[in-house]
Amino acid sequence: MKQVRSFAFMDRIRIVGGNKLNGIIPISGAKNAALPLMIASLLTDDTLTLDNVPHLADVEQLIRILGNHGVDYSVTGRRERQGDTYSRTIHFTARNIVDTTAPYELVSKMRASFWVIGPLLARCGKARVSLPGGCAIGTRPVDLFIDGLAALGARIEIEAGYVEATAPRGGLIGAAYTFPKVSVGATHVLLMAASLANGRTVLKNAAREPEVVNLADCLNAMGAKITGAGTSTVTIDGVTSLSGARHAVIPDRIETGTYAMAVAMTGGDVLLGGARSDLLENAFDVLRATGTEITQTNEGVRVRRNGAGVSPVDITTEPFPGFPTDLQAQFMGLMTMAKGRSHITETIFENRFMHVQELARLGAKISLSGQTAIVDGVEALKGAPVMATDLRASVSLVIAGLAAEGETVVNRVYHLDRGFERLEAKLSACGATVERISG
């Protein structure tokens, strides 16, 4: 099938800073919700229809991975919004699983693709999945996935870079499992695997993120019996089979928070169309403390900041409902021009400060002390060429560039294409001087 858009490896984004943002930015469906929902299609031979699917490089990559397993898909109901942004409905049908191996050349490009191990194991009784890749923001081991599936009776072996999992003859068996640390990905995988297990599974210290709730709601629509999603204890009563369903991807709370911080950085008045403040309460409380006005309306979330300076605020990243690690880099970009000193402590990933040296190229004053970045706000940033190092780091450079004097060029923006749908078009529509340079 012809794709709407390709994602170029060598593209750059050019920004001329200094413009306030005013207008409407439509918020896309959440990447972090869409990916596990797509993978859930492996659990049934009926069609799973997903609405509000974003057009992102990671989504396209996962479509290729699912196709390798025999999943057919079709895109319908494409609707144009704001002239350049698409909300898609995609139908996934995994009537025949033709291969239970997820090869290295596909899985190495995106960590979330490892999650196919759960539904493949539950439905087919076996799975052979390459150890994952993705952003270089720490080791992010798969131990929790393996231990959790082993608790459900799976036999797990790791050989030649592959995790080979086999279910007992009668299928996976419900069990009680306590996550030693909160893991969104492992919670996704065990929710899917336990849905087809024999008996009851109780997951304790489970992730509480809205994306987990979105997946559980979808699985229940497919016939699963899951209660407690959104709390730290989730109960799954296994069923013998799941059916098809139609389900909508929730609006992207990370995209919402990112654009809210862009408005806080530049000043202006923007409606984030379709956004939900209940998905991002902690981060919005932090933004209000910086001097930004945030209001939920019937159309979305309105973000405003007048010409007053940005107040410094200290944050510590935490699992939901705490401040999201996926907004840490963006908030650091905002704090580079705050009126004073702020402290940003990262507790989720051990290597997620790679954007610090690139922000310094723009004139930011940041020092590191263990897991904490100490940011002393400056009067002005100066445009410069910078290099994106991962998905969230790359957009922090865009936020800084929007306020920097002169021209900023962000290189390696393929990272951005993994998680932000038509970012340059959305910002340009609100008055920013932003353009993509191909090649």
- Is 309 exposed, middle or buried, given 0-12, 13-18 or 19+ CB atoms closer than 10 A? middle
In terms of domains, do 284 and 222 share one? Answer: no
Known binding-site residue numbers for UDP-N-acetyl-alpha-D-glucosamine: 111, 140-144, 181-184, 326, 348
Return the exposure string of 285-297: e unless at least 16 CB atoms fall within 10 Å of the residue's CB, then b: ebbeebbbebeee
Last residue of a domain, one of 218, 248, 278: 248
Q: What is the dihedral of CA 424, 212, 126, 42, to 10 degrees?
A: -60
Last residue of a domain, one of 200, 220, 248: 248
In terms of domains, do 16 and 42 share one? Answer: no
Last residue of a domain, one of 208, 224, 248: 248
Known binding-site residue numbers: 31-32, 111, 140-144, 181-184, 326, 348
Residue 6 domain-assigned (yes or no): no
In terms of domains, do 78 and 36 share one? Answer: yes
CB 247 within 8 A of CB 218: yes
In terms of domains, do 429 and 406 share one? Answer: yes
Return d(Cα 164, Cα 159) in angstroms, integer: 7
pLDDT given for residue 408 in this prediction: 98
- Which listed residue (124, 135, 218, 430) is catalytic? 135
Name the domain count of the chain: 2
Give the residue numbers spanning the domain of 169: 31-248
Residue 349 domain-assigned (yes or no): yes
Q: How many CB atoms lie within 10 A of CB 325?
A: 18
The residues facing 229 across adjacent strands are 231
Sheet containing 233-237: order of strands: 176-178, 200-204, 233-237, 225-227
Low-confidence ranges of the chain (pLDDT < 70): 1-9, 77-86, 133-141, 351
Return d(Cα 387, Cα 409) in angstroms, integer: 8
Return d(Cα 298, Cα 276) in angstroms, integer: 10
| Residue whose pair of structure tokens reads 């996935």 in the numeric block | 145
In terms of domains, do 259 and 168 share one? Answer: no
In terms of domains, do 393 and 410 share one? Answer: yes
pLDDT given for residue 265 in this prediction: 97
Residues 309, 311, 317, 321, CA torsion sign: negative
Residue 231 domain-assigned (yes or no): yes
Selection from 33, 334, 397, 10 nearest residue 213 by Cα: 33
pTM of the complete model beyond 0.75: yes
Residue 4 domain-assigned (yes or no): no
User: Tokens standing for 276?
Assistant: 């939900």
Residue 164 domain-assigned (yes or no): yes
Residue 213 domain-assigned (yes or no): yes
pLDDT given for residue 394 in this prediction: 86
Q: How many CB atoms lie within 10 A of CB 155?
A: 12
CB 111 within 8 A of CB 139: no
In terms of domains, do 300 and 237 share one? Answer: no
In terms of domains, do 146 and 285 share one? Answer: no
In terms of domains, do 17 and 40 share one? Answer: no
User: Tokens standing for 53?
Assistant: 């699917």
pLDDT given for residue 206 in this prediction: 98
Pairing relationship of beta strands 268-273 and 245-248 according to DSSP bridges: unpaired
In terms of domains, do 16 and 67 share one? Answer: no
Return d(Cα 173, Cα 188) in angstroms, integer: 17
The yes-or-no answer on residue 135 being catalytic is yes
Greatest Cα pair distance, the chain, in angstroms, is 66
Known binding-site residue numbers for phosphoenolpyruvate: 31-32
In this predicted model, what pLDDT tens digit does every residue of 124-182 receive, in sequence order?
Answer: 999 999 988 544 434 446 889 999 999 999 999 999 889 999 999 999 999 999 999 99
In terms of domains, do 290 and 146 share one? Answer: no
In terms of domains, do 208 and 84 share one? Answer: yes
**CA 264 from centre of chain:** 22
Residue 2 domain-assigned (yes or no): no
Residue 7 domain-assigned (yes or no): no
- Give one word for 299, left, alpha or beta, with left for phi > 0 and alpha for psi -120 to 50: alpha
CATH of the domain at 123: 3.65.10.10
